[in-house]
Structures are given as structure tokens and as C-alpha cells.
Amino acid sequence: MRVTASNSFCDYNNMHIYNGIRLTYKIMPLCLALFFTRTVFIGYKYLFLVTFVPCFLHSVYVLFKQGIAKPKINTLLLPVLVIALFIAHFSPIISNVVKESVNISLIIYYIVFSKLYYADDKFDVFLKWIVRFTMLAGCIAIVRFALSEVGIPLPLSVILFEGANFSLVNDCNFYSLFFIISIILSAKLFANGQIKKPEFLIVNIVSAINIVTGLSRRAYVLYALIIVIMFVCFVLKKYDFRKSLLYNILIVSIIGTLGVGILIMSNGYYSPEMSFDQKYRYYKVYSLVDNGVSYSEFDIKQQRKYYADKISTDSTNLFYNGDLKNGLSAWGTLRTPHDCISFELVEDECGDSIIRVTRGCSSGCWQVHYNGRPIVYHKDVTYEISFAYRVLEGSENPFCVGWRVNEGKGWCYNLLRTIEPIDSVWKRCMVAYKFQEDRMNPYTFLNSLRAGSTIEVKDIRMTCDDTTGLPHYVDQLPDSVIHKYYSQDTINYFTASRTGRWRYALELWQTRYDTKQKIFGQGFKYLEWYGQKFWHNPKRYDFPHNPIISSFLYSGIIGGIVYIIFLITCLWLYWKRRKELGVFFIMYLCCMFFSMFSGSSHFSFPLFAFLSFLPFIEYKNRMNHH
């Protein structure tokens, strides 16, 4: 619903103060939308800077010249206190905190200095730009994905695209969230006549495609919930935009069904030669029926079915299809849509099959990796990889060989290589490693190929010195053994990566916090501890993926309790003004649902932080009018 003039955020008595910043006033909705939608497309960050900097400088100049009435903060005491507790533990050496502090500063700027928040018409413009920028990003994602399937990268891919899967950014959860928000906003805008039917239909179609292919389990749950709620509202005739709801239900249901069908048909049947992305999509569809199964359990079940009738290969070579007689079966590359990687099967002068891989730019990691029958690596057993290779372009040995494993002494992706000449062109490379712990199928083989290099490999072998008859492959293990001994390498993509981080927060609280630190916190030191725990690298910061837990870690019991009170107060104020702020209340709930599983702190997701301030501002203005 629209906010009426009497209940608006606007104080029309002060309109004359802003007469000198009309240009800023007109550009601000566009600028603000770019600020938030950079979450779905990094290219918007650059556009935001281009629009924001002139607006900021001009508005500050005019406001400084005319003077500003200081806002009353008595009703904003709670959000100000939350910000103060966050900044009180600020550490300039931590980039995450710097970014979130910048987010806070920009949000405060918009709230205090921008007339946008006090005008209904401009708020509708802001909402429309949110939807349109999200839709543009969604269309770019669809085009990029389609072109990547035929090996055509989009221009500036390395700079503009971060995501390795369908989404344009690394965080597919917040990426999908914006498309859910666009569906909600489009229903409101269409009902109020702010957008036309064609645009409304495009929003639903593009959003449905991006949500279905976005690989965000949380988005799937929330998407289904929205469909159910919209259907109930339509049946009960609860609201006065029944036609838009009917269209929305039909579009979402049809596109969602088609999307799942396309995923099933495109993946076909399970095969170990699938890329990880294909396997994961297949698992997403599978988990709709059996949502209690983890990814590792699903993969193992499918492996057992697949290999039940297959003939075992020579046990002396643990790599399936190491002679490449079956083409690229069991071999692949972790190429993403923006990588300059060429990966193909060719023949040498003798007619033998070889893998030729070329790296043209500075992105990419495992240029040739084994994805055949998953292998078990046993503790205290030495495994040796050997293969023949020749360099067509680049330096003499332009690659690394090893496993993506870190057992406390650094990553083992670049092991000491033994090079022996085979003839005037071909050489043989050998590496060996004794595992310190049992491992289940980590990434292995050739990685970090230098940019501008082209190499060819063949006769790929892996052997081990085990003589006790231990099982070689994951599908040979009973479930009880897998869960008992190989849990560190199993992946449950819905809860395990989160619950493990939540449990570690409790461990830190019990072991590394004294009484004083439990009361007042210990700042952002926990980011380094999380990096060491989950990445074996204290400089690679990690976090609990829950802003409530984070608040207890950086500001102690005092900060944690204040933050919980802040969230409860936000919900209460939204509920009290749900008629005026209904659509923002829904957006706030959606953002909160995602942030509680993915957020570093309350300010790491700017849209969530911004929506948290709105009910306080509305409450303040209502008190002023009364």
C-alpha cells in the first residue's frame, strides 16, 4: 500500500531547505537502487560510484551552505546504540569490518541527508529501479549462461562476474533473495499501476528462472512459501490486487515446474563424469523428494547404482580411464564462464589420445582434475601420481600437481615434482604424498597452470603402497564407515556448513573468552580464528554466518542482548505500522531469514540494515506529527 501524505516520512515545512538539491533529489532513487543491487551484480558498484560521488559532493555543499537541522535521535537511540557497539570494536586491519562500516556510513547518509525517504513518489521510483536493476542482472545471467554453454565468454567477464555457477556473484543466496524481493515488489507496483502488465510478466519469468537455477535452498523454501501465501490470499480475496496475484501464481507455478523439468532433462541420468555443478543440480531435484539426504549421501548412492554393473579397471591404476581410451570420461576442468580455459581431447603423432589444455588469462584453478569414480585416501598410505606431458607454449614446467588437502602444514596442491625425460619432447612427472588423515575424494591432479600456457598430458596413473586390501573407492564403503571416518569431507549443503560454524562459536565462547570478554566482547579477533579453523589460514577471515552470534562474539553479552532487543523492536514497530509499511515489512522478513544463515553482521547486507531503520524513522515522524 502507498503511504499517505499525512503518514509520510515527509516534513513539508522544511521543503525549502532542499530547493538547492533538486538534481540530487532526482538522481537519488537511481543511485540508491544501485547501492543495494550491487549485491546481485558487481558492475552496479561502478555505476553507483559514478552517480553517488557527484550527488554526495553537491548535496553536502548545498546543505553546508544552507544549514541543516540536526535530527532528533531520542527515538533512534536503539539503532544508534547498535551501530556504536559495532564500531566500538572496529579494527582497521580487517577488510570485512571496513566494508561494513562503509555500508553503515552510506545508509546513515541516505537517511539523514536525502529527501528521498520523505517522499512517496520518489520511494516508488526507488522500488521500480530495484526491480529493474535486478531484472537486468537476471537477463545478463541468462545470456552469460547460454553463451558459456557454447564456450563464448562475455566481454569484461573477469572484472564483472564473480559467480562460478549461474549467479553473477559468489553468494548465490543473497543473489536469489533479490529476485524474490522483485516478485514481491512487482506485485505491489502492478497493483498500484506503477508498472504495466508486460513488465510484470517479464519480472516473474526472469525471477523464476534465476531462482530455480540459482542453487539457493533457502530461496526455494521462501519461493514456495510465497506461492502458497499468494494462493491463499487470492482464494480468500484478502487484498485488492487479486488479478496480479492470479497472474503471479500462474507464472511462478508454470515457470517453476518447467525449470525443474529442464533441470531433470538436461542432467539426464546420473553419471560420475558430470561436472560438480550438474551433480549438484541433480541433487537439488532429488532432494525435493528426499530432503533428509545430504549431498555426500546422495552422491554415494548414485555411485553405487552406476558402478553396480560396471567392470572394474586395472586395480594398479586408481584413476579410471587414465589411458584416455574412453575420451574425457573421468576427466574435467573447473572452468567457469569467465575463465579463458580451453580443454579438449586430441590425438598425438602416434594416434594416442591426449588432453590439451590452454590457459589464456589469470583466472581458474584446477585446469585438469579427476572426476571419475571417487577415491578413498587412507591414513599413513602413500599415493603416487605420474603422467606424461609436453609443453607447447609457456615456461618449462608451468603447472602444479597435488591434492586440495590441508592437514595442518599447508595445502598439498603443489607437491615436489620429479621430472624424467621420456624422449626429446615428452617428459614424465611424478609426485607422492602420505596422507595424515583419512580423506574422501578431494580435488586432485593438475592445477595453477600459468596464463599463456598450453600443455598436453597422457598416460595418467595413480598407485598406492597399501598391501592390506583397504577399499579404494567411496562407493565400496558402508554408510556407517563413511559417517564415522570421513565426515570432514562430506558436505551437507543445507545445514552442515552453518551448524558447524555455530558450534564453533560456542567452543570459542567456552575456551577463549574470559569473564570480562564474555560481558564486553573481544572485537573481531574471532574472524581470524574462524579462518584458521575452516580454511587453515588466519588471514582468510570467516564468521558464524549468523549476525546474532557474531554480535555476542564481538561485543559480548551486552552487545548481543542489545542486538536481540533491536531486532524484536524492529518487528514490533513494523507490525504496529504494517498497513503503511506492509511491503517493507515483508522485505524485512525475507532479508532477516537469509541473513540469519548467511550474514556476517547486521550491516554486511546493506538492504537488511536499511530496512531495519525504516520503522524507527516512521515512528519518529508519527510522534512529531502528533
What would the pLDDT profile of 476-499 be if each residue is shown by its tens digit? 877 666 665 444 443 333 344 577
Of 245, 277, 294, the position where a domain reaches its end is 294
Task: Say if residue 504 is in the same domain as residue 484.
Answer: no
pLDDT of 47 over the 70 cut: yes
Tell which wins on pLDDT, 397 or 149. Answer: 397
**What is the grid cell recorded at 128?**
521500480
Q: Quick one: pLDDT at residue 488?
A: 42
Task: Say if residue 457 is in the same domain as residue 368.
Answer: yes
pLDDT in tens, 261-271: 555 555 456 66
* Percent above pLDDT 70 for the chain: 65
Please report the beta strands in 449-598, taking only residues with DSSP state E, as ranges in sequence order: 453-464
Asked if residue 413 belongs to a domain, the reply is yes
Please state whether beta strands 444-447 and 453-464 pair in parallel, antiparallel, or not at all (unpaired): unpaired
Tell which wins on pLDDT, 129 or 229. Answer: 129
Strand partners, 271: none
Task: Say if residue 281 is in the same domain as residue 375.
Answer: no
Asked if residue 263 belongs to a domain, the reply is yes
pLDDT in tens, 552-599: 998 899 989 999 999 999 999 998 888 878 888 888 998 898 888 888
Asked if residue 286 belongs to a domain, the reply is yes
Of 454, 489, 524, the position where a domain reaches its end is 489
Contacts of 56 (CB under 8 A, 6+ apart): 109
Task: Say if residue 571 is in the same domain as residue 483.
Answer: no
Task: Say if residue 484 is in the same domain as residue 342.
Answer: yes
pLDDT in tens, 257-298: 565 555 555 545 666 666 666 676 667 666 655 555 666 667
* Percent above pLDDT 90 for the chain: 14
pLDDT of 603 over the 90 cut: no
Overall domain count for the chain: 3
Tell which wins on pLDDT, 122 or 139. Answer: 139
Asked if residue 620 belongs to a domain, the reply is yes
How sure is the predictor about 432, in pLDDT bands with cuts at 50, 70 and 90?
A: very high
Tell which wins on pLDDT, 222 or 232. Answer: 222
pLDDT in tens, 10-45: 444 444 444 545 666 677 778 888 888 888 888 888
How sure is the predictor about 5, in pLDDT bands with cuts at 50, 70 and 90?
A: very low
Mean pLDDT, range 138-147, rounded to an integer: 85
Phi, psi of 63 (to 5 degrees): -65, -35
Tell which wins on pLDDT, 579 or 422. Answer: 422
Task: Say if residue 483 is in the same domain as residue 428.
Answer: yes
What's the mean pLDDT when you consider all of the chain?
76
* Radius of gyration over every alpha carbon of the chain, rounded to an integer in angstroms: 28
CATH number at residue 434: 2.60.120.260
9 closest CA partner among 624, 528, 619, 618: 618
Q: Quick one: pLDDT at residue 4?
A: 39
Q: Quick one: pLDDT at residue 399?
A: 93
Strand partners, 428: 388, 420
Task: Say if residue 578 is in the same domain as residue 559.
Answer: yes
Task: Say if residue 337 is in the same domain as residue 456.
Answer: yes
Exposed / middle / buried, residue 417 (Cβ in 10 Å: 0-12, 13-18, 19+): middle
Asked if residue 91 belongs to a domain, the reply is no
389 closest CA partner among 371, 411, 367, 405: 367
Of 294, 317, 343, the position where a domain reaches its end is 294
Asked if residue 596 belongs to a domain, the reply is yes
Note the pTM of the prediction, 2 decimals.
0.64
How sure is the predictor about 135, in pLDDT bands with cuts at 50, 70 and 90?
A: very high
Mean pLDDT, range 535-539, rounded to an integer: 67
How sure is the predictor about 382, in pLDDT bands with cuts at 50, 70 and 90?
A: very high
Task: Say if residue 277 is in the same domain as residue 378.
Answer: no
Task: Say if residue 339 is in the same domain as residue 442.
Answer: yes
Q: Quick one: pLDDT at residue 93?
A: 47
Q: Among 92-106, 239-253, 493-507, name the most confident range.
A: 493-507
Asked if residue 307 belongs to a domain, the reply is no
Q: Which of 190-199, 241-250, 308-317 has the lowest mean pLDDT?
A: 241-250
pLDDT of 374 over the 80 cut: yes
Tell which wins on pLDDT, 126 or 154. Answer: 126
**What is the grid cell recorded at 352?**
594416442
Q: How many residues does the chain have?
A: 626
| Residue range(s) defining the domain that contains residue 583 | 500-626
Task: Say if residue 335 is in the same domain as residue 484.
Answer: yes
The C-alpha atoms of residue 587 and residue 192 are separated, in whole angstroms, by 18
Task: Say if residue 451 is in the same domain as residue 481.
Answer: yes
Tell which wins on pLDDT, 450 or 315. Answer: 450
The C-alpha atoms of residue 185 and residue 533 are separated, in whole angstroms, by 40
Asked if residue 585 belongs to a domain, the reply is yes
